[in-house]
Amino acid sequence: MTDSDSIDLFTRTVGDGERRVVFLHGLFGRGKNFTRIAKGLEPECTSLLVDLPNHGRSDWTEEFDYRAMADHVAATLRADFAAAGPVDVIGHSMGGKVAMVLALRHPELVDRLVVEDISPVGTEAAKSGDAVSDDAVSDDAVSDDAGDAGSGGSEFDHLLSSLRALDLGSVADRAAADEALSESIPNRTVRGFLLQNLRSGDDGLFWEPNLELLHESLAVIGGFPELGDARFDHPVLWVGGAKSDYIRPEYGEAMRALFPRTTRMMIKDAGHWLHSEKPEEFIAVLRGFLLDDRD
């Protein structure tokens, strides 16, 4: 645990192009999950893949708060990657909410914003039927959320409870942990995604994400913070999967109120994890939005 004013975020850089792009992952993801997409933006872009607080190799915090998370990302960008000027930001699901709050609280750091399959509303109304695609298990291509809290809090409560109940002292490696979780989490792909967060250290296996905090914060994760009269007036691409339910027509008013220059696009035959399910289509959409002439 670290003091909220001195948090370190782990980042990786892909490419060396002139345009600078930041990727923010979803719940239980990590920056590395966007490697394939970042490579698809080469040679024009340099991409920064961020592990958000309480995930991956980044520090833990005492509370889950979207405003604080956005401020931590802002401090990281301001210190280096965005020191020379604003950058483009892409955020998926939970990371999409962080990206929106970042743009609203720190607009000087963001040029163009891409919000992937999430809306600036509480997601308690969203369906729980999204499933992780069966071919998305590798570290680089794995789906970013095993169901964000908004996609059915009871489902995610079950997943977190199952992980917390696993006795790490009784399993020797990830394969043994996978077997131990097979009854409570029967979907092999979901287990594979979750188990990317299980690491081995000097004292044995440990979970990198802050399971206890995330479990306690499901309602906050599924919500969206009140930000007063904040507005972001730069171009925003609001892109979703046509088979997902996180972007609905009735959410458009809330989105446009915060981001008046929003363009909405849906990718055919994609669900919530469209960057994993339809990577080539997603890359083409990003290139069309990020690499055209700037205003």
All residues at 6 or more sequence positions from 293 whose CB lies less than 8 Å from its CB, including other chains: none
Q: Is 71 helix (H, G, I), strand (E, B) or coil?
A: helix
Cα–Cα–Cα angle for 287, 118, 266, rounded to 5 degrees: 50
CA atoms of 60 and 2, how far apart (whole Å): 6
Catalytic residue at 275? no
CA atoms of 88 and 102, how far apart (whole Å): 11
Q: Is 286 helix (H, G, I), strand (E, B) or coil?
A: helix
Query: Which helix (H) or strand (E) is 110 found in, with range?
Result: strand 110-116
Give the model's pLDDT for residue 122: 84
Q: Which residues pair with 113 in a beta bridge?
A: 89, 236
All residues at 6 or more sequence positions from 27 whose CB lies less than 8 Å from its CB, including other chains: 93, 94, 144, 145, 146, 148, 149, 156, 214, 221
CATH 3.20.10.10 given to domain 11-290: no
Q: What DSSP assignment string belongs to 151-189?
A: G-HHHHHHHHHHHHHS-GGG--SHHHHHHHHTTTS--HH
Select which of 208, 272, 275, 277 is catalytic. Answer: 272
CA atoms of 57 and 112, how far apart (whole Å): 27
Select which of 47, 58, 93, 133 is catalytic. Answer: 93
pLDDT in tens, 142-190: 444 444 544 445 677 888 999 999 999 999 999 999 999 999 999 898 8
Question: Which of the two residues, 192 and 258, has the higher pLDDT score?
Answer: 258
Q: How confident is the model at residue 294 (pLDDT cuts 50, 70, 90)?
A: low
Give the model's pLDDT for residue 156: 78
Q: Where are the domains of the chain?
A: 11-290
Q: Dihedral, CA atoms, 100, 286, 93, 138, nearest 10 degrees?
A: -140
pLDDT in tens, 64-115: 999 999 999 999 999 999 999 999 999 999 999 999 999 999 999 999 999 9
Catalytic residue at 272? yes
* pTM of the shown model: 0.89
Average pLDDT over residues 131-144: 41
CB atoms near residue 27 (< 10 Å): 27
Q: Is 249 exposed, middle or buried (0-12, 13-18, 19+ CB in 10 A)?
A: exposed
Identity of residue 103: A
The DSSP letter of residue 235 is -
Cα–Cα–Cα angle for 128, 132, 134, rounded to 5 degrees: 145
Is pLDDT above 80 for 33? yes
Select which of 42, 108, 179, 212 is catalytic. Answer: 212
Q: Where are the alpha helices (DSSP H) in the chain?
A: 35-40, 66-76, 94-105, 153-165, 174-181, 188-195, 211-216, 218-221, 252-258, 274-277, 279-290
Give the model's pLDDT for residue 202: 85
Catalytic residue at 154? no
pLDDT in tens, 203-249: 889 999 999 999 999 999 999 999 999 999 999 999 999 999 999 99
Q: Which residues pair with 201 in a beta bridge?
A: 204
All residues at 6 or more sequence positions from 179 whose CB lies less than 8 Å from its CB, including other chains: none
Q: Determine if residue 29 is left, alpha or beta; phi over 0 gives left, psi from -120 to 50 gives alpha, anything else beta.
A: beta
